[in-house]
Amino acid sequence: MRFVTKKHIPRRAFLRGMGVTLSLPLLDSMIPAQTPLAKTAAKPQFRMGLCFIPHGAVMDNWTPKTEGENFEISRTLKPLEPFKDNLVVISNLAHHNAAPGGPGDNGGDHTRSPAVYLNGVHPKRTDGADIRAGTTIDQMAAQHIGQDTRLPSLELAIEDYSGLVGSCDVGFSCTYMNTISWSTPTTPMPMEINPRVVFDRLFGDGSSAEERLERIEQERSILDAVTSQIRRLQGDLGAADRNRVAEYLDTVREIERRIVLAEKQNSVSGIVVPATPAGIPDDHETHTKLMFDLMAVAFQADVTRISTFMMAREVSYRTFPMLGITEAFHPASHHQNNPARLEQLTRINTYHVGLIAYMLEKLRSIKDGEGTLLDHTLLLYGSGMSNSNVHNHSPLPVFLAGGAAGRLKGNRHLSYPEKTPMSNLLLTILHKAGVEEGTIGDSSGPLTEV
């Protein structure tokens, strides 16, 4: 039952202060009770999170042994066991256009894998400015559903090599490796690795760099700029909405606290890393979880409904001391079928899946209308590569998670014929977002079972 609250608030309501625009989460008081608008306003909004990981996976440990509903979850996907009812594993997909395109196009698999991941289009072989790939599904969706939010889309990453220019992999431009999002075939979207920059994009409104720096130095929260408005707002809300706003503001303040802490730690560490901007945690796991928190709060506040996340870059030299593994990610991925090295790569794969489990728990903990953010989000996780030892692109490690606003049924392992185009899944995701494209890349049709 929906109770009449003190005052109706518009869904696109903001709290504004000097240099601050703070969107509000969906509240009961934004849905007028006992009116025809109630059903429309209560309709869950579809969110899309598209995550990329390089270097494929040890597929024998990734692929579930059983198919269909109530499948037996695999070793690598074990961290997702608590979310099995929201999980769809999809096997035997292939990115044909991530493979060499013909004579003279050998090599370059590490550049093609991210470039093809969300569009299914073979990138032009060039190390010059004449780059060309394909518009990605996040940007296609942004042109449709992204126009209803302040940010049409949000592009996140962990590792930044955007300063690299020229050829990064056998005649292919470094640009292809630096992003998974393209707004046009010739326009790559920059990925942001600095949580402070992301935070200010979400909640800042044209404040200068000097104002932001002053706020950091004085340890004032962004919420201080809208304190009086928060007090007035709380006086107009019912009890449930007051609690929801309080929890949301606590989340914003906690994220900002962690960013400031990271900036302080970096400033006193004594280690000079000129390429790393302030605000980026030294710890990889802390950094990744903070970016997931920012994605979640952006969805919660309806600042954006579409986000991509490049969780690592191809040819990543990230190490994993927390796993007791000293070898870097890329060298570890060339396992040469050695059992000990396969075990090592499996542990890295499982670790990354565990970070996705963190995000799913975060989404599940946030109420959104009549459900949770997990109920209303479709999250894609996968790679453009399969067996990293031979650089092939089938079968790809891929799964979907979330409820997709009622458009995705979980607890399933769907196994398709070998080398089914991954572009078919991309097309399916677009259709679930309400974008009725006829074809994507080398797609042959949507995956109707998904």
129 pLDDT higher than 80: yes
Max avg pLDDT among 84-88, 276-280, 323-327: 84-88
Task: Tell me the backbone φ, ψ of residue 169, rounded to 5 degrees.
Answer: -160, 90
Q: Which long-range contacts (CB under 8 A, 24 or more apart) does 217-222 make?
A: 219/260, 221/253, 221/256, 221/257, 222/20, 222/22, 222/252, 222/256
Q: Which residue has the higher pLDDT, 84 or 32?
A: 84
**What pLDDT, on a 0 to 100 scale, did the predictor assign at position 235?**
67
Please check whether residue 300 is in contact with residue 374, taking contact to mean a CB–CB distance below 8 angstroms: no
**What pLDDT, on a 0 to 100 scale, did the predictor assign at position 77?**
98
Please give the Cα distance from 3 to 93 (Å, whole number): 48
**What pLDDT, on a 0 to 100 scale, did the predictor assign at position 318?**
93
**What pLDDT, on a 0 to 100 scale, did the predictor assign at position 395?**
98
Domains identified in the chain and CATH numbers:
1-43+205-279 (no CATH), 46-193+305-450 (3.40.720)
Q: What are the CA-CA distances from residue 419 to residues 29, 53, 275, 378, 442 (Å)?
A: 49, 20, 40, 23, 12
**What pLDDT, on a 0 to 100 scale, did the predictor assign at position 271?**
35
- Tell which residue, 406, 290, 283, has the closest CA to residue 358: 290
Q: Which residue has the higher pLDDT, 77 or 147?
A: 77
Residue 76: which pLDDT band, with cuts at 50, 70 and 90?
very high
- If you average pLDDT over residues 54-67, what whole number do you get? 98
* Interval 292-331: pLDDT, tens: 999 998 999 888 999 999 999 999 999 999 999 999 999 9
Task: Tell me the pLDDT of the chain averaged across its residues.
Answer: 85
Please give the Cα distance from 399 to 379 (Å, whole number): 8
- If you average pLDDT over residues 67-91, what whole number do you get? 98
Please check whether residue 389 is in contact with residue 407, taking contact to mean a CB–CB distance below 8 angstroms: no
**What pLDDT, on a 0 to 100 scale, did the predictor assign at position 444?**
97
Q: Which residue has the higher pLDDT, 217 or 106?
A: 106
59 pLDDT higher than 80: yes
**What pLDDT, on a 0 to 100 scale, did the predictor assign at position 38?**
47
**What pLDDT, on a 0 to 100 scale, did the predictor assign at position 269?**
43
Please give the Cα distance from 227 to 20 (Å, whole number): 11
Out of 110-119, 187-196, 279-288, 426-435, least confident range: 279-288
- Tell which residue, 340, 343, 314, has the closest CA to residue 329: 314
Q: Which residue has the higher pLDDT, 222 or 190?
A: 190
**What pLDDT, on a 0 to 100 scale, did the predictor assign at position 342?**
97
Please give the Cα distance from 404 to 182 (Å, whole number): 23
Out of 88-102, 270-284, 358-372, least confident range: 270-284
